[in-house]
Copies of this chain bind each other. A is one copy, B any other.
Amino acid sequence: MTQIARTQSQLGNIIRRARKTAKMTQADLGKRAGLRQATVSQIESGDTDPSTKTVLDMLAALDLELVVRPRSKGSHDDIEDIF
């Protein structure tokens, strides 16, 4: 299952979903990634523009990785990350 992120909010949603799937709380994830629970909250909500390192740390803590690839691989434009 590979998820496309073109905005911070989409990225936040992906992270939140992954965290729940992993049955972790924001505090758990924060601890693993070296972040505050508050920071995790803000990032998941998409109401901040996190640094790359912060994002990578969170993804690593969730056993996820980032991939860069040419756009529009199928190009279903993801009107909004509804699910």
Chain A residues near B (Cβ < 8 Å): 1-8, 11, 14, 18, 49-53, 55-56, 59-60, 63-73
Query: B52, B63, B72: which contacts A49 (Cβ < 8 A)?
Result: B52
Query: B11, B51, B52, B65: which contacts A69 (Cβ < 8 A)?
Result: B65
Query: B6, B18, B51: which contacts A65 (Cβ < 8 A)?
Result: B6
| Residue contact B64 to A11, C-beta cutoff 8 Å | no
CB distance from A32 to the nearest CB of B (A): 14
Query: B1, B49, B64, B72: which contacts A71 (Cβ < 8 A)?
Result: B64
- Known contacts: A52-B8, A53-B49, A56-B7. The answer to whether A67 contacts B70 by CB under 8 A is no
